[in-house]
Amino acid sequence: MERFPSRGYMTPRTRMIRKLYLAAAILVIILIVGIVLFHLSDKTQEQQPAAAAPERKVIEPEKKAVMVTEPPRVVQPLPPAPPAQQTPPPQPEQVEVQAPVAIEQPAVTAPVEQPVLPASTGITAMINEALALLNERPARVIEARDRLNELLPLEMTPQQRMLVKQQLSALADVWLFSPTVYPKDTLCEIYQVKSGDLLKEIGRVNNVPWEIIQELNKISRPEALQVGQTLKIVKGPFHARVFRSKFIMDLYLQDTYVKSFAVGLGKPEHETPTGTWVVKPGGKLIKPTWTDPDTGKTYQADDPDYPLGSRWIALDGISGNAVGRTGFAIHGTQKPEEIGSATSRGCIRLHNGDVLLMYNLMMPGASRVEIVD
């Protein structure tokens, strides 16, 4: 009888075939896994840029900080322009005067808010006409000055008078307090130094202190004048008018208004007398020794509490309540806060800078000081 092998028995040939099948299966599996991994890797690379975007710092740190820490700037709108009828009158700083020919001056067109006098319309027109002369080329400085000065004695509102004085004061910086001499000016002229001339004598002939000629012409040594040298000469004298009720002093060159100063005046028991005074010959002094009549204390120039400031201009009364009065003067002060009030013993107090200017302008024996209510 033929024997058949059992199911568990495999011939060598069978075992070899099975091993080949197993190796092929493993190879197929490895191939499939490789294909799957390759596809997965491909998809991962396609998705990676989007996932990595936060790490690429597209937004720079500096820009981000600015955006976070600085609020946006808000530009405020400009306020609307006021209606034309509310435009205030021009102020003195609006006067742009430049020597010698480039002088800009806006016309006065703003209405006056206060009730006006019957002559006000004509006065305003005349102010405008005078100021229009400054807009011409070349500017007609002297003619504008003279026209404005002619308006001061006329009846006008306080606003108009203030405006005229402001314009005249601004013009004085051009025609007077500068080295320029304008054509047709009867108050200033060019002088050529002759042999033997002295600055003090030139000032005396023209009724002005030599100090103002020295200052206008920037002369460092008065004794060193050169023959043929040209100088700007002012034809004086200067005068002043003090208004007690307003604590204001107006300065004039002859009859032409120059500028105004705030002053301090005498207290009620030592009231500054009205009337006309003249600058006392020999009465212009630099920090003279002074004895207080009330306390008897004598002050020297170098005393820390010296009360008279840097200059003293003595006055002699020649008319009105000033006649026979002595001891009165224009001087500086150690207490500038008292300017504009009645606190002196009757003298006229000025800020120290203002009294220096007055000292250089007022001519002894010729310059008058009128004090009115």
Around 151, how many Cα atoms within 13 Å sit in the side-chain half-sphere?
30
**pLDDT at position 18, please?**
76
Q: What global pTM score does this model have?
A: 0.68
How far apart CA 172 and CA 248 sit, in angstroms, is 18
Q: What does the pLDDT profile of the chain (373 residues) look like in tens digits?
A: 444 444 455 666 777 777 777 877 787 788 787 776 766 665 555 554 444 444 444 434 343 333 333 333 333 333 333 444 444 444 433 333 333 333 333 333 333 333 334 445 689 999 999 999 999 999 999 999 999 999 999 999 999 999 999 999 999 999 999 999 999 999 999 999 999 999 999 999 999 999 999 999 999 999 889 999 999 999 999 999 999 999 999 999 999 999 999 999 999 999 999 999 999 999 999 999 999 888 899 999 999 999 999 999 999 999 999 998 889 999 999 999 999 999 999 999 999 999 999 999 999 999 999 999 9
Give catalytic residues, as residue numbers: 331, 347
Measured CA to CA, the distance from residue 237 to residue 242 in angstroms comes to 17
Say if strands 290-291 and 298-299 run parallel, antiparallel, or are unpaired: antiparallel
The pLDDT value recorded for residue 5 is 47
- CB neighbour list of residue 162: distance below 8 Å, 6 or more residues apart: none
Judged by phi (left if over 0) then psi (alpha if -120 to 50, else beta), residue 296 lies in left
Q: Residue 326 — φ and ψ, nearest 5°? A: -130, 165
